[in-house]
A and B are shown apart, each in its own frame.
Chain A
Amino acid sequence: MRRSSEPLFWSLFSGGGMIMAILAPVLIVVTAYLVPADQVEFGRLHAIFTNFFARLGLIVLAFFTFMHAAHRLRHTLIEIGFKRFAQPIAAGSYLAALAGTVWAAVVAFS
């Protein structure tokens, strides 16, 4: 059986899409509205983000979200007329997603 890379990227895309479909709205409400309105205590957030599993979870969340966005952006750009640049678009998108994940890991364990 021939191995295409698409199933790998599609799995990551789907995983990220599902996670963010479930979590994105509530997360945005928290950071965009509750944090500026002083509804969230610093101590609580500090306790969460220094928890080992929360750190891991943050990296996983960032990885899937960035891979989701990279995959979607790649296919969309090809479809709206940038087919000539399919290769660099794919490489650029996924590399940016990986770079973002590395940054997320640094942030999570800082």
Chain B
Amino acid sequence: MTVEATDGITVGPSARPSQDTISLEIARYRPGHDEHPTFESYDVPYRPEWVVLDALNYLKDQVDGTLSYRWSCRMGVCGSCGMMVNGVPKLTCATFLRDYLPGPIRVEALANFPIERDLVIVLDDFIEKLPKIKPWLVREVEQPLEEGEYLQTPKELADYKQYSMCINCMLCYSACPVYQNDEHFLGPALLALGQRYNHDSRDQGAAERHDVMWTSEGVWDCTFVGECSVVCPKHVDPAGAIQQAKVESTIGWQLSFAPPVPPLPFGRKQAEET
């Protein structure tokens, strides 16, 4: 059997009809100028190795310098290039033109967020809600520096690691009809973030977070549409995190009927000693 040397990148797409250009329909919104966003059509060179973000960069460099959008790392880490691509929230740096042949490709600002300009969204709502979840290690008493770091076993790490992979790209909010419907809903990423700390063996703030998370605005308005987990580029599975928190909230609710348990000696005792 002979194996022909092939250009790895073009193996897949070369099977499809080749084309020189692909058309992009981009939602433009100029504040103070436009009543509402309108689609404008642009042709860009088609390259199988190009992602949607490459096409946008081409347009901004070569065709229209006023086109506005956010991006930074171009490698799925910074979480700033999220946009709707044909109606689905995507990181445009990981969304290849070759998967949308022959085109056109519709690019819009992420759904469920106000638009600042063109493809740039307003994140204020998320930023205001973020501290409510206390996304840091809450300690009753900080361990003195000379005692070293808080140690953790691989098993304890595995308990929350998945939830710590979030890059705040907002794709999950954009996919979530509950967030769209309810302005008070904390949303998928923040609830997963709460689980990330609640499941961290070094953290002691779970009770404080439960007051925020075990409410309607927290986990209970979620109806498990599940799209947040589908669109998540980092496999955080916020829908699973919320389901898990619902189970924990239900157990906590059942325990609230049990007679009061004497305070756990650990931690408290430490607090009294210092």
Which residues of A line the B interface, CB within 8 A?
1-4, 6-8, 10-11, 75-76, 78-79, 83
Contact = CB atoms under 8 A, between A and B. Distances in A.
A81 to B, nearest CB: 8
Given A4-B216, A75-B223, A79-B223, A10 B178 contact: no
Nearest to B256: A1
In this complex, the interface size class of chain B, counting residues with CB under 8 Å from chain A, is 10 to 19
11 contacts: A1-B210, A1-B252, A1-B256, A2-B211, A3-B256, A4-B216, A6-B216, A7-B246, A8-B253, A76-B223, A79-B177
Contacts of A11: 250
Interface of B: 177-178, 181-182, 210-211, 214-216, 220, 223, 246, 249-250, 252-254, 256
Contact of A10 (B210, B215, B246, B256): B246
A10 B219 CA distance: 11
Contacts of A1: 210, 252-253, 256
A48 B211 CA distance: 48
Nearest to A75: B223
Contacts of A78: 181
Contacts of B246: 7, 10
